[in-house]
């Protein structure tokens, strides 16, 4: 259920609604009177294909009689944008319109994305209201900082739509099967410097690791994502460590796995680094140039502890034989093998075709699917391993 209140950021709630619907959520929208001054209910009705609830006492609306049913049916109540007014009403338990009434009646988790003038947000009364609601278990996402519609710059703008979307998924995942599990995920390629300008890297986009981190988070896990340089959006609600070299990743993973239940090493770690990094930019005067490479530590192989270790093998030939060898050499509970030479399974794409291999000899060949779907299957097998 999406509660929409009277802030200029209402137009962003339309975008959010569209994304939720596209992702398969059934969205019931409740608008306050003030929200309708900014945007017509028809906008949300067209996006959700469902009636929008606007009044409590409209005899022609079946929702009016059923407003408690509406509260009971919600899996999550998101209020975005949420004004200082609705936050104050929720804190004190007012129920004088459909949204406040629903918020009071529902047992579903509540997520609030505030949007207001920075003065209103920073006012001690608003801050106190937020603190009390947080203590009662309400989740707040944002607000962000920046240019505000009133012409000032400060804290109070509706946070990024994708972060709100993620906060909803986290709220829905509170009873997920990975609840209470601490999972470390690595993603992306590493970068080994040659000189202050150049580096050795690889074509890993990080998409598989990011998909795993988000899927685990959505199923209730506490996720620590350790990623090499890349352009992907840092997922909301996960602990994030950015690294550059294989050695940086090694140190970060060693520290993160001291207290975890599983590690999923999706990163494409550089096997070698430049033995001596040039302090100054190398000039192109010589007709050829040789670089001496030194071996990097194998992060996965070095990890010991009472947690599940899952590795990845990206190969261009002898896929299963190579993956089998790595499974044993690195002491893994499972390895995800994918043939990077096949269409749809290469670096950078949104899909992958993988085979899962287990130490007891079991193999599970999976069809081509999105990395998101594959992430969930990998997590299904991880939970089977517990
Ligand atoms: O040996 P190879 O690099 O093919 O093994 C791939 C698996 O090992 C991946 O899970 C990768 O993240 C991990 N790996 C590692 N440390 C390295 C190289 C690879 O942990 N130095």
Domain ranges of the chain: 2-173, 177-385
With 70 as the cut, is the pLDDT of residue 62 above it?
A: no
From ligand 1's centre to the CA of 220, what distance in Å? 27
* 271 CA: nearest ligand 1 atom: 21
Q: What is the CATH number of domain 2-173?
A: 3.40.50.1950
* 302 CA: nearest ligand 1 atom: 20
Single out the residue of 234, 195, 235, 232 nearest to residue 215, CA to CA. 235
Which residue in the list 101, 150, 199, 260 is annotated as catalytic?
Answer: 150
* 246 CA: nearest ligand 1 atom: 21
Task: Note whether 28 and 67 are within 8 A (CB).
Answer: no
With 60 as the cut, is the pLDDT of residue 63 above it?
A: no
Report whether residue 313 contacts ligand 1, using a CB cutoff of 6 Å.
yes
With 60 as the cut, is the pLDDT of residue 85 above it?
A: yes
Structure tokens at 339: 């043939």
Question: Residue 50's pLDDT is what?
Answer: 94
Whether 2-173 shares its CATH topology with 177-385 is answered yes
From ligand 1's centre to the CA of 268, what distance in Å? 6
Report whether residue 332 contacts ligand 1, using a CB cutoff of 6 Å.
no
* 314 CA: nearest ligand 1 atom: 4
- Condensed to tens digits (0 to 9), the pLDDT of residues 192-249 reads 999 999 999 999 999 999 999 999 999 999 999 999 999 999 999 999 999 999 999 9
From ligand 1's centre to the CA of 300, what distance in Å? 6
From ligand 1's centre to the CA of 266, what distance in Å? 8
With 60 as the cut, is the pLDDT of residue 117 above it?
A: yes
150 catalytic? Reply is yes
The CATH topology of domain 177-385 is Rossmann fold (3.40.50)
Question: Residue 315's pLDDT is what?
Answer: 87
Report whether residue 310 contacts ligand 1, using a CB cutoff of 6 Å.
no
Task: Note whether 207 and 231 are within 8 A (CB).
Answer: no
From ligand 1's centre to the CA of 180, what distance in Å? 27
Question: Residue 192's pLDDT is what?
Answer: 98
Lowest mean pLDDT among 63-67, 158-162, 346-350: 63-67
Task: Note whether 5 and 83 are within 8 A (CB).
Answer: yes
Report whether residue 296 contacts ligand 1, using a CB cutoff of 6 Å.
yes
Strand order in the sheet with 29-31: 29-31, 2-4, 77-82, 110-114, 139-140
Averaged over 88-98, what is the pLDDT?
Answer: 95
Question: Residue 18's pLDDT is what?
Answer: 97
Question: Residue 65's pLDDT is what?
Answer: 55
């Amino acid at each position: 259920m999406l509660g929409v209140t009277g802030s200029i950021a209402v137009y962003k709630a339309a975008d959010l609604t569209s994304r939720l619907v596209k992702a398969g959520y059934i969205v019931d929208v409740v608008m306050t009177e003030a929200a309708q001054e900014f945007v017509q209910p028809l906008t949300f009705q067209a996006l959700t294909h469902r009636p929008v609830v606007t009044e409590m006492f409209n005899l022609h609306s079946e929702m009016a009689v059923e407003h408690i049913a509406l509260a009971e049916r919600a899996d999550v109540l998101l209020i975005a944008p949420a004004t200082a007014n609705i936050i104050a009403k929720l804190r004190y338990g007012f129920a004088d319109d459909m949204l406040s009434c629903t918020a009071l009646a529902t047992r579903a988790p509540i997520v609030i994305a505030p949007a207001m003038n920075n003065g209103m947000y920073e006012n001690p009364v608003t801050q106190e209201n937020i603190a009390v609601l947080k203590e009662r278990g309400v989740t707040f996402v944002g607000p962000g900082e920046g240019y505000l519609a009133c012409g000032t710059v400060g804290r109070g703008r509706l946070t990024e739509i994708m972060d709100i979307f993620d906060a909803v998924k986290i709220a829905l995942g509170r009873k997920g099967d990975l609840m209470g599990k601490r999972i470390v995920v690595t993603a992306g390629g590493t970068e080994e410097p040659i000189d202050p300008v150049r580096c050795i890297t690889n074509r890993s986009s990080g998409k598989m690791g990011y998909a795993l981190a988000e899927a685990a988070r959505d199923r209730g896990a506490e996720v620590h994502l350790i990623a090499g340089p890349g352009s992907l959006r840092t997922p909301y609600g996960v602990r994030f460590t950015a690294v550059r070299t294989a050695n940086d990743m090694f140190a970060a993973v060693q520290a993160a796995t001291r207290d975890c239940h599983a590690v999923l090493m999706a990163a494409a770690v550089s096997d070698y680094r430049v033995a001596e990094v040039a302090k100054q930019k190398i000039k192109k005067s010589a007709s050829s140039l040789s670089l001496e490479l030194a071996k990097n530590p194998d992060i996965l192989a070095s990890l010991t502890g009472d947690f599940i270790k899952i590795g990845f093998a990206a190969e261009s030939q002898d896929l299963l034989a190579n993956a089998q060898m790595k499974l044993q050499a690195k002491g893994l509970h499972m390895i995800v093998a994918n043939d990077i030479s096949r269409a749809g399974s290469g670096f950078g794409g949104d899909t992958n075709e993988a085979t899962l291999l287990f130490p007891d000899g079991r193999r599970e060949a999976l069809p081509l699917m999105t990395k998101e779907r594959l992430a969930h299957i990998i997590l299904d097998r991880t939970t089977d391993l517990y």
